[in-house]
Chain A
Amino acid sequence: MISWPWKKPKLYRHGDLLIRQVKKIPESATRLSTNIVAHGENGHTHKLHGSHQVFETSDKQILFEAKQDLSLKHQEHNTLKIKKGNYVVVHERQYNPFNNIEEDVLD
Chain B
Amino acid sequence: MVTTSSSLIIEAEALDERDKENVAIGYALQAETKRINELTKERFDAIGRGDISVELCNSTVCDTNYSYYSSALQAAHAKIYATGSQVTYQSNQYVNDKDTLNDVFLPITNLFDRIPDFLKVDPVLIGFFVAIFITSIYIGRQFSHKKRIARRNRRDWRRKLKELIAQNTWRHRSNDEPGILRVTPEEYRRMQEFERSFVTVGKSDPEYFLHVTSGAKLIDASRRGNELYSINTIIHGRSLKILKYRDPSTKVQDPITGEWVGQLYISFVPEHINKADHGMAWKFRLTPGEYRRTKRHEA
Q: Judge whether A13 and B269 touch: CB under 8 Å.
A: no
Q: Judge whether A8 and B251 touch: CB under 8 Å.
A: no
Interface size in chain B (residues, C-beta < 8 A): 33
Residue of A nearest to B249 (CB): A77
Residue of A nearest to B183 (CB): A98
Q: Judge whether A79 and B299 touch: CB under 8 Å.
A: yes
B178 within 8 Å of A (CB atoms): yes
Option from B191, B238, B247, B269 in Cβ contact (under 8 Å) with A95: B269
Option from A11, A15, A99 in Cβ contact (under 8 Å) with B294: A11
Give chain B's interface secondary structure class: mixed
Option from B195, B249, B285 in Cβ contact (under 8 Å) with A98: B195
Count CB-based A-B contacts (< 8 Å). Answer: 86
Q: Which residues of B contact A94 (CB under 8 A)?
A: 267-269, 283
B11 within 8 Å of A (CB atoms): no
Binding site for A on B (CB under 8 A): 176-181, 191, 195, 235, 238, 240-241, 247-251, 267-271, 282-286, 290, 293-294, 297-299
Would you mind naming 16 contact pairs between A and B with Cβ atoms under 8 Å apart?
A10-B297, A11-B290, A12-B298, A12-B299, A13-B249, A18-B284, A76-B249, A77-B250, A79-B299, A80-B297, A97-B235, A99-B179, A100-B179, A100-B180, A101-B179, A105-B267
Binding site for B on A (CB under 8 A): 8, 10-16, 18, 72, 74, 76-81, 90, 92-101, 105
